[in-house]
Amino acid sequence: MANTVYLYNFQDNVNTWSVPIRYSFFKEFYPHGTIFANEISICQNNTIEFSVFDTTIDTDSVYWDFGDGSDIILAEISDIIIYQYNAVGEYEVTCTFKHIESGKSTDETITVFVHTVYENLPIKEVEICADKLPYVFGNQEIYESGYYEEIFQSTNGCDSLVMLNFKINELSYRKDVVTACDSYTWIDGITYTESNNSAEFVLTNVAGCDSIVTLDLTINKSPHIEVVVDRNILTVAESDAIYQWKYCDDRTIALENAQEQTFVATANGQYVVEVSKNGCVATSECYEVVTVGISHNLLNNITVYPNPNDGKFVVDLGKMYDEIFYEITDMHGAVVYKNHAKATRQLYIDMQVTQGVYVLLLYVDTNKNTIKIIVK
């Protein structure tokens, strides 16, 4: 407190001054001021600037307490205090404004927030599929596997170093090679009846990425198994195949010497033929033979040569006939050659046909004979 004496006198309306009056004033000291900080929210290990500038009144000196247990600092009023916080937390900073002579002081406080800077973070592991590139990591677009670093800011604006171990899982490709008979239902649910090498289907591989499967399909048609029956001679339609004739009632038993396109039954009964071609196997219906042992007054002693042939061959009838009719059919029964001859013992035949098995039918009066002709 300061004691100040003042003398006063007054002048009246006739310009006469009064006797001086003595008056004493007493001043009460109240040191105070305002704290300024350039920031109150900082990242760990960053600094803050504190000051009081020209805001102090009745102040001789200031004392700074930074709230972190460090020593209190005595500073001049004009000083700018730079202070670093190394630990994360919330700190109450106190500035004490002091008037030394009177011993009076006041405190002003502000709160400072120090936020974490993330260091030594665990390495981020990322795996993605090749069709999901590029992978965005901060400001980087990544196209290759490897280790990458990037600075990220937390919600409090503090930089943090993040390391990335990045791996690209490749797409996988596979070709599904299939051979089927007549039709095939693939993994896409579609039933294909023709060969196909362009269909694709997408699966997921063990890495979680697309596995693209391409179909390579070959469709082979099942062999024709229609059978032409001429008395005890059975001929199946499909040529150039593998044949096996069997009894109808026991198809597990293959007949001996019955692996040709044409089969001559030596006993009455029901027969089937199993035909294999291009990996496809088909079995005919049952066909019945009932003519074995029945006389038809057939032509005898007939010879064909050469057989197999190229479409040109001779039929030796074994004797002279006044008139004979003859025709040749394919395995479907279609007539490919037809003629007749008089007063002849031999027939000279020249037919323009493709390779295959044909049937020569000879007619004399009511007699009929059938001979297999092979054209190569």
Task: At 71, give phi and psi (nearest 5°).
Answer: -65, 150
DSSP 57: B
Q: List the chain domain ranges.
A: 1-115, 124-169, 173-220, 227-289, 303-375
Q: Whose structure tokens read 């004797």?
A: 319
Q: Classify 13 as helix, strand or coil.
A: coil
Separation of alpha carbons 332 and 154, rounded Å: 86
pLDDT band at 296 (very low <50, low <70, confident <90, very high): very low
Q: Residue 316: how many CB atoms within 10 A of its CB?
A: 13
The residue count of the chain comes to 376
Domain 303-375 adopts which CATH fold? Answer: Immunoglobulin-like (2.60.40)
DSSP 299: -
pLDDT digits (tens, 9 = 90+) for 167-207: 998 888 899 999 999 999 999 999 999 999 999 999 888 77
Q: Are 358 and 307 in contact (CB under 8 A)?
A: no
Look up the pTM and report it: 0.46
DSSP 14: T
Answer whether 1-115 and 303-375 agree in fold.
yes
pLDDT digits (tens, 9 = 90+) for 43-67: 988 999 999 988 999 999 999 999 9
pLDDT digits (tens, 9 = 90+) for 63-108: 999 999 999 999 999 999 999 998 999 999 999 999 998 889 999 9
Percent of the residues in the chain that have a pLDDT greater than 70, as a whole number: 94
Enumerate the β-bridge partners of residue 338: 327
What is the mean pLDDT of the segment spanning 312-316?
94
CA neighbor of 271 nearest in space, from 239, 224, 228, 242: 228
Separation of alpha carbons 368 and 77, rounded Å: 141
Burial class (CB in 10 A: 0-12, 13-18, 19+), 344: middle
Q: How confident is the prediction for the chain on average, in pLDDT?
A: 88
- When comparing pLDDT for 1 and 153, which is higher? 153
Separation of alpha carbons 55 and 60, rounded Å: 12
Q: In one letter, which amino acid is 46?
A: N
Helices and strands (H and E) in the chain: how many: 0, 32
Give me the CATH code for the 1-115 domain, please: 2.60.40.10
- pLDDT beyond 80 at 235: yes
Distances (CA, A) of 235 to 227, 240, 244, 267, 334: 5, 13, 12, 16, 14
Separation of alpha carbons 197 and 70, rounded Å: 80
